[in-house]
Amino acid sequence: MTGVTAPVTTAREGEPPGEGLVLDVRGLRMRYGSTDVLNGVDFVARPGEVVALLGPNGAGKTTTIEILEGFRMRSAGDVSVLGVDPAHGDENWRARVGVVLQSWRDHGKWRVRELLAHLGMYYGPYSTDKITRPWDADELIDAVGLTEHAQKKIKQLSGGQRRRLDVAIGIVGRPELLFLDEPTAGFDPEARREFHELVHRLSDEASTTIMLTTHDLDEAEKLADRILILAGGKIIADGSADELSRRMSTEAEIKWTRDGQRFVHSTTESTRYVHELFKQHGDAIGDLEVHRASLEDTYMALVREAESGQGDAVLREFAEITEVGTEAGA
């Protein structure tokens, strides 16, 4: 196994489940028929964290989220969500958990404001000293960028506007924990940016803990405090985007041209190498670029490693020196 696979935030052995944690998942298993989809998943989330769950199609992201939401029974393992086993969550627990569903298409005749005000009423009894429920309908509509469409019938909304409404419905009860399964699929760039701002606001101002799935690595990097990569039925990486990239490879790729020829060299000592290059060739060096591994490089290498079961071989390939020409002695 590689250094990056050691989860840095897994609950400590012997620690009681859920203590100070919003999510505490240990040894989670899920079997459909004779197929094991989740094969010992471990991770935690702390209050106010934004955690992105990444993984290839069919890795089990939706399955994991549905188990945490209490919509699917797990095969085995210990799961604590806001200190409660989601398999036995009562109404009080459910009021503290926000889920973004896509099932509101059936309510096409309802108007946006009317539906949000109506659904919000159910959360009133679950207000606490710290959290006033529900979210005021007009403020909420403004927060998700639907003010112009507040009086429209749901069936008149575009796909992206409906998705914003789905998000509004998910947060109308001011949840302490919010699950977002591919929240920006189908969003245009502006809607995506506005949504990212909303996620930042929810986590910064309301200390909402957010768990989201996405296939957009750029989105994960922008939004998440921590990234979990699920592949082969397990969490194979757990850390910030920066931590994952740095632990994956300390090498940088240096590209340059000289006398019309292109050169590429990988090294762990990029500064010294570049210094040496200029010392030897001075102004003859052009088009200099220095690249570190991106989150996408890291993700691809880790998933390929997990899927092929080849262990270190893929990592070596990833970090291999792709030298086309050697200029300096570094």
Ligand X SMILES: Nc1ncnc2c1ncn2[C@@H]1O[C@H](COP(=O)(O)OP(=O)(O)OP(=O)(O)O)[C@@H](O)[C@H]1O
Find all residues with CB under 8 Å of 129, minimum gap 6, and list them: none
User: Which part of the chain contacts ligand X (CB under 6 A), choosing from 40-48, 54-62, 168-176, 282-290?
Assistant: 54-62
Question: Residue 33 has what DSSP assignment?
Answer: T
Extract the tokens encoding 325: 């020409």
Residues 4-43 touching ligand X, rule: CB under 6 A, are 32, 37
Of residues 2, 62, 127, 240, which one binds ligand X by CB under 6 A? Answer: 62
Which amino acid appears at position 239 of this protein? G
User: Which part of the chain contacts ligand X (CB under 6 A), choosing from 50-58, 166-174, 279-287, 298-306?
Assistant: 50-58
Residue 26 C-beta: closest distance to ligand X, Å: 19
Residue 221 near residue 295, CB atoms below 8 Å:
yes
* Residue 59 burial (CB count, 10 A): 24
- Examine residue 57 and tell whether it contacts ligand X (CB under 6 A): yes
Residue 178 C-beta: closest distance to ligand X, Å: 18
- Examine residue 71 and tell whether it contacts ligand X (CB under 6 A): no
Residue 41 C-beta: closest distance to ligand X, Å: 11
Q: Does a cis peptide bond (omega within 30 degrees of 0) precede residue 47?
A: no
Of residues 3, 14, 58, 189, which one binds ligand X by CB under 6 A? Answer: 58
Extract the tokens encoding 66: 């549905």
Burial code of 123-159, b = ≥16 C-beta within 10 A, e = fewer?
beebeeeeeebbbebeebbebbbbeebeeeebeebee
CA 184/CA 167 separation, integer angstroms: 10
Which amino acid appears at position 308 of this protein? S
Q: Which is nearer to ligand X, 101 or 284 (CB)?
A: 101
Of residues 49, 54, 61, 249, which one binds ligand X by CB under 6 A? Answer: 61
Total residues contacting ligand X by CB under 6 A comes to: 10
What does the chain come to in residues?
330
- Examine residue 59 and tell whether it contacts ligand X (CB under 6 A): yes
The distance of Cα 55 from the centroid of its chain, to the nearest Å, equals 10
What is the pattern of x (binds ligand X, CB under 6 A) and - over residues 179-208?
Answer: ------------------------------
Residue 35 C-beta: closest distance to ligand X, Å: 7
Instruction: Give the containing element (helix H, strand E) for 54.
Output: strand 50-54
Q: Which is nearer to ligand X, 59 or 172 (CB)?
A: 59
Residue 224 near residue 51, CB atoms below 8 Å:
yes
Q: Which is nearer to ligand X, 37 or 290 (CB)?
A: 37
CA 289/CA 291 separation, integer angstroms: 7
Residue 67 C-beta: closest distance to ligand X, Å: 10
Interface with ligand X by CB under 6 A: which residues?
A: 32, 37, 55, 57-63
